[in-house]
Amino acid sequence: MTKLTSLICAALLACSATASASPILSGFKLTNVAAVDDGSTLVNLAGGMKLGLNGTIFSSLFVNTNGNVSFGSGMSLFSPTAFNGNAYSNSFLAPFFGDVDIRNGHGSIGYGNTQFDGHNAFAVTWDKVGYYGSNDDKRNTFQLMLVDRSDTGANNFDFYYNYGALTWDQGDKARAGFHMVGTAADFEFKGSGSPNKLLDAGSLALISGSNVGVVGRYAFNVRDGVAAYGMAAGDKVHGVPQPGSLALLGIGMLALALGRRRKA
């Protein structure tokens, strides 16, 4: 094997490893919620984090079993309707709103404080969770991450949806996005609420896309209480370039340099 071939193989392996890396943030302590069906757990945000939503400031939230967090009160709803309707009395962030069931050891839901890009952060991880009623033949792993962005203005924050694996949507009723009471900023991913569309094998698989260059990760921002899909204008875009692109660029530069050396 030539030196050039060896270098290219090594770069391709690095590219593959980067591209396949999970976007799920780990390495921090998690507190697990109770393994009950359709449960809610009140969590006080640490580190002085305050979240401004449509004129209300929250220093706590509810971690709900069924793939979402809500503000002001918990949610036991397991079969969501369209997020832009009038069925909801409180705001919520839903990376994957479906009928999760972690009883009998069928996965776990944990939350904890961490750091992200130099900012205080809070994350909730639904890890290998099963679905109602107590089924575990298929498992989902996904995460919500809240990032304190008070550096851009009081009570501002970013939030991220990270996807590890989505293999069930239980009765074709799962949805993903967010709902804000009193605003027109409700959002759902394309394919939300449609049979199998958002799953790993679906035509609109969440694990295969991104808006920040990290496959399986999606960023949102809340500025002055208003939520939007994507990063705020002027904000740094985390995770760019696309996974593997630096390695591919390196391959090209190596090949060009060695080619020129041989020719000389």
Phi, psi (deg, nearest 5) at residue 237: -90, 115
Note the pLDDT of residue 243.
Answer: 36
- Per-residue 3-state assignment (H helix, E strand, C coil) for 72-100: CCCCCCCCCCCCCCCCCCCCEEEEEECCE
Instruction: Measure CA 30 to chain center.
Output: 16
Note the pLDDT of residue 231.
Answer: 72
Note the pLDDT of residue 75.
Answer: 95
Residues 69 and 200 in one domain: yes
Note the pLDDT of residue 20.
Answer: 54
Note the pLDDT of residue 235.
Answer: 57
Instruction: Measure CA 233 to chain center.
Output: 20
Note the pLDDT of residue 39.
Answer: 96
Note the pLDDT of residue 245.
Answer: 36
Residues 196 and 79 in one domain: yes
Residues 96 and 127 in one domain: yes
Give alpha helix (H) positions in the chain.
3-20, 245-263
Global pTM? Answer: 0.82
Note the pLDDT of residue 14.
Answer: 40
Query: Is 170:229 a contact under the CB 8 Å cutoff?
Result: no
Phi, psi (deg, nearest 5) at residue 160: -125, 145
Nearest alpha carbon to residue 214 among 148, 161, 158, 145: 161
Domain count, the chain: 2
Residues 11 and 54 in one domain: no
Residues 73 and 103 in one domain: yes
Note the pLDDT of residue 225.
Answer: 92
Per-residue pLDDT of the chain (264 residues; tens, 9 = 90+): 554 444 344 443 344 434 457 899 999 999 999 999 999 999 999 888 999 998 899 999 999 999 999 999 999 999 999 998 778 999 999 999 999 999 999 999 999 999 999 999 999 999 999 999 988 999 999 999 999 999 999 999 999 999 999 999 976 689 999 999 886 679 999 999 998 999 999 999 999 999 999 999 999 999 999 999 887 655 554 433 333 333 433 434 334 344 444 444
Note the pLDDT of residue 172.
Answer: 61
With tokens 């949805």, the residue in question is: 175
Residues 124 and 223 in one domain: yes
In the chain, the amino acid numbered 20 is: S
Note the pLDDT of residue 144.
Answer: 98
Residues 250 and 234 in one domain: no
Note the pLDDT of residue 204.
Answer: 96
Q: What share of the chain is helix, strand, coil (3-state, %, to 5)?
A: 15, 35, 50
Residues 14 and 32 in one domain: no
Note the pLDDT of residue 264.
Answer: 47
Give the Cβ contact number of residue 144 at 10 Å.
23
In sequence order, what are the beta bridge partners of 119? 116
Query: Is 137:104 a contact under the CB 8 Å cutoff?
Result: no
DSSP string, 24-90: ---SS--EEPP--TT-EEEEEPSTT--EEETTEEESEEEEETTTEEESSS-----S---TTSS--SS
Residues 2 and 133 in one domain: no
Note the pLDDT of residue 51.
Answer: 97
Residue 260's domain comprises 1-21+243-264
